[in-house]
Amino acid sequence: MKKVEAILIGLVLVSFMVSLYFYPLMPEKIAIHWNIQGEVDGYAPKFHGLFIIPFIFTGITFLFITIPRIDPLRKNVEKFRKYYDGFIVLLSAFMVFIHLYVISWNIGIRISPNIVLPPGLGILFSYCGILCENAKRNWFIGIRTPWTLSSERVWEKTHKVGGRLFKACGIISIVGLLFPSHATCFILIPVMFTVAFLIVFSYLEYQKEIRQLNKGVSKS
């Protein structure tokens, strides 16, 4: 983990150094939010706009590093640790990318977020699928519902299905590049459907397991 921790801390430091370097070049109010059409609809004072992502990134990095150490099922986390490490490095790189995008927009390099976000999120969603397919039962990482946490079989089955669905979300997000004015829909709708479906799926699988156990008890 030391190598991954070093990478995360390095990316955090890069985000702060970039903010400090560009601080004198920024206007007093900078764009920090865009609507679904890719138009700016939110501004912040220079300091807040330049340092909000680095500070959030710092907190998330601490969380990433802490989770494997405090999970009661950390032995299971170690079984898919390389996929977890890959995910947190990829997500951290994506956050730095978003930080650089905000800065570049405010210095005059204005590419629509509907062109920039779909491929980045597509890659991230696809790797979420890989992580899901390999995740073992734990309390912090993966599709955590009362039913997946209560049953090893339900966990495994839900995560196999979830892995395929998140990979599909990644592909659909990238396809959104072909329809820039509706790119947000290609990102949000598949993910919302996937999350809702997996919650229901895990519940139904758990109920199926309970019925089978009850049948077995009644026969005995």
Residue 2 pLDDT grade (very low, low, confident, very high; cuts 50, 70, 90): confident
Helices 81-106 + 46-70 axis angle, to 10:
180
Q: Residue 128: what pLDDT?
A: 97
Q: Residue 209: what pLDDT?
A: 94
Q: What is the pairing mode between strands 40-45 and 29-34?
A: antiparallel
> What average pLDDT does range 166-185 have in this prediction?
94
Q: Report pLDDT digits (tens) over 109-158.
A: 999 999 999 999 999 999 999 999 999 999 999 999 999 999 999 999 99
Query: What are the domain boundaries of the chain?
Result: 1-111, 112-220
Neighbours of 79 (CB within 10 A): 15
Sole residue written with tokens 């955090």: 12
Q: Residue 219: what pLDDT?
A: 63
> What average pLDDT does range 11-35 have in this prediction?
95
- How many residues in total does the chain contain? 220
| In the predicted structure, residue 1 carries a pLDDT above the cut 90 | no
CB distance 141 to 135 below 8 Å: yes
Residue 215 pLDDT grade (very low, low, confident, very high; cuts 50, 70, 90): confident
Contacts of residue 65, defined as CB under 8 A and 6 or more positions apart, other chains included, come to 1, 5, 8
Residue 220 pLDDT grade (very low, low, confident, very high; cuts 50, 70, 90): low
pTM: 0.91
Q: Residue 214: what pLDDT?
A: 84
Residue 217 pLDDT grade (very low, low, confident, very high; cuts 50, 70, 90): low
Of the candidates 204, 86, 112, the residue with the CA atom closest to the CA atom of residue 151: 204
> What average pLDDT does range 155-180 have in this prediction?
96
Q: Residue 36: what pLDDT?
A: 87
Sole residue written with tokens 């702060």: 16
Read off the amino acid at residue 30: I
Q: Report pLDDT digits (tens) over 75-92.
A: 999 999 999 999 999 999
Q: Report pLDDT digits (tens) over 180-213.
A: 989 999 999 999 999 999 999 999 999 999 998 8
Q: Residue 26: what pLDDT?
A: 94
Q: Residue 218: what pLDDT?
A: 63
